[in-house]
Amino acid sequence: MTDNIKNRIIGEGKHLFLKMKTCLYWVALSAAAGLIVGVYSSLFAYILKLATKAFAAYGWLLYLLPFAGLFIVFLYRAAGTFNDRGTNLVIGSINSDMQVPGKMAVLIFISTIITHLTGGSAGREGAALQMGGSFGNVIARVLKRNERDTKVLIMCGMSAAFAAVFGTPMAAVVFSMEVISVGIMHYSALVPCVFASIIASRFAAGIGIDPEAFILSGAPALSAAGGVKVFILGALCAAVSAVFVVMLHKSGDIYRKCFKNPYVRVFAGGVLVILLTHLTGTRDYNGAGIGLIERAIFEGETDSFAFLLKMLFTAVTLGAGFKGGEIVPSFCVGAVFGCLFGHIAGFSPSFCAALGMAAVFCGVTNCPLTTLLVSFELFGFAGIPYFMIVISVSYMLSGYRGLYSDQIIVYSKYRPQFINRHVGDESGDDLDGC
């Protein structure tokens, strides 16, 4: 009996040692990855900020946009990349055996900077995800890690880059695990993603890359009337997110149908952005749209058709072949639409702008937990019940559309049912009998 107890204790001790060894291994590896990706992503964020300021100061840069597009196409083709899948490649590498080439980090870095410098409507987080995923894959290859470890390092790199560029480390951790397969969290990557995210975000903050923050001064008290209005806002934001996703996907198809040559395609897209800028009489819709977000949240002001125009500018830019991300533009679309709804519904336009920002982001990414954490990190903890309502409603009603076609919806949004669909599959079988 004594020997059995002794052997059991020894066995448990060995097991504990192995678990601690694995944990420390990933802490060390993710810390190194977080530092490497954090340095590169912080440099990207810093140069991008300079590019944005340069575009604001020198209006003539807009007229270089078509030629910037030509250079981007040349850059990718010179690197041997003729069918760039962007963030979808990174997501696909987790769900399959696809490889994320190291050159992607360089290509997306340069092309996103150029797009912002010359006034294209695009974000930055998509670029961050691609850079982080690329670095994660490179680190895995250098260390000769197996396929499973490589997938973890890719998610680790994604978290680090997202945290460094946007300054939301909590959301960055969850996003890289949630966006891959909706319904299944890759918890094996939790410790690596946490340490990589924290280190990358702290490095970025240390060199002056300030995190985004739109702290709300106050939020309406929870009430039945307010809850109904926010429910309606969530439903409308789900529809807006679906339209935005369709526009982003279809714009590329339209461009390819009209212009077979990628150089002609991107040049035409640049010309269209210039024409749209002149037609609107403002440059608010060029770039990521941070100015529109700030005006909607801090001043409660927006134009009636601002959300439609931002969607159009972004679809025209990215569909033509310019590079960047869709996430910050989705924030912008949500903020200005929410602000407009607030004016119509008589319910705090500034607060509705924050709610709309969260709801549209959730609708296009299918990541409710990430969205909730983003809301906490960007807006503080005021009005939590309203954020919970608008995010959950938008998630459910946005259906199975999304920004990333390689994203998999593992479980139904409507019932406890395994469906395992790629984003875009709207067959609706799981709605039968509802």
Measured from the Cβ of residue 55, the count of other Cβ atoms closer than 10 Å reads 21
pLDDT value, residue 433: 56
Is residue 193 within 8 Å of 155, Cβ to Cβ? Answer: yes
Rg (CA), the chain: 22
pLDDT value, residue 431: 67
Ranking 276-280, 308-312, 351-355, 427-431 by mean pLDDT, the lowest is 427-431
| pLDDT per position as a tens digit, 66-108 | 999 999 999 999 988 767 777 777 877 777 767 777 788 888 8
Measured from the Cβ of residue 97, the count of other Cβ atoms closer than 10 Å reads 9
| pLDDT per position as a tens digit, 365-380 | 999 999 999 999 999 8
Sheet holding 181-182, edge to edge: 181-182, 408-411, 418-422
Give the pLDDT mean for 413-425. Answer: 84
Measured from the Cβ of residue 142, the count of other Cβ atoms closer than 10 Å reads 9
Give the burial class of 245: count Cβ atoms within 10 A of its Cβ; 0-12 exposed, 13-18 middle, 19 or more buried. Answer: buried
Ranking 17-31, 78-92, 317-331, 386-400 by mean pLDDT, the lowest is 78-92
Please, what are the domains in the chain? 10-206 (1.10.3080.10), 224-403 (1.10.3080.10)
Ranking 74-88, 93-107, 172-186, 244-258 by mean pLDDT, the lowest is 93-107
Q: What distance in Å separates the CA atoms of residue 83 and residue 388, rounded to the nearest whole number? A: 39
Q: What distance in Å separates the CA atoms of residue 423 and residue 271, rounded to the nearest whole number? A: 32
Identify the band that residue 311 occupies on the pLDDT scale cut at 50, 70 and 90.
very high
Ranking 12-21, 196-205, 310-319 by mean pLDDT, the lowest is 12-21
Measured from the Cβ of residue 420, the count of other Cβ atoms closer than 10 Å reads 12
Whole-number Cα distances in Å, 196 to 40, 141, 164, 178, 356: 13, 18, 10, 16, 30
Q: What distance in Å separates the CA atoms of residue 111 and residue 285, rounded to the nearest whole number? A: 19
The two structure tokens encoding residue 45 = 């964020």
Identify the band that residue 432 occupies on the pLDDT scale cut at 50, 70 and 90.
low
Give the pLDDT mean for 129-157. Answer: 87
| pLDDT per position as a tens digit, 217-235 | 678 888 999 999 999 999 9
On average, the pLDDT of the chain sits at 89
Residue 27 has pLDDT above 60, yes or no: yes
Give the pLDDT mean for 176-200. Answer: 90
Express as a percent the part of the chain with pLDDT over 90.
59
Strand ranges, E, within 156-195: 181-182
- Per-residue DSSP letters for 285-333? TSSS-HHHHHIIIII----TTHHHHHHHHHHHHHHHT---BSHHHHHHH
pLDDT value, residue 309: 97
Q: What distance in Å separates the CA atoms of residue 309 and residue 321, rounded to the nearest whole number? A: 19
Ranking 6-15, 128-137, 337-346, 381-390 by mean pLDDT, the lowest is 6-15
The residue ranking higher by pLDDT, 353 or 130, is 353
Q: What distance in Å separates the CA atoms of residue 196 and residue 169, rounded to the nearest whole number? A: 9
Q: What distance in Å separates the CA atoms of residue 154 and residue 36, rounded to the nearest whole number? A: 13
Identify the band that residue 415 occupies on the pLDDT scale cut at 50, 70 and 90.
confident
Residue 1 has pLDDT above 70, yes or no: no
pLDDT value, residue 67: 97
Is residue 362 within 8 Å of 398, Cβ to Cβ? Answer: yes
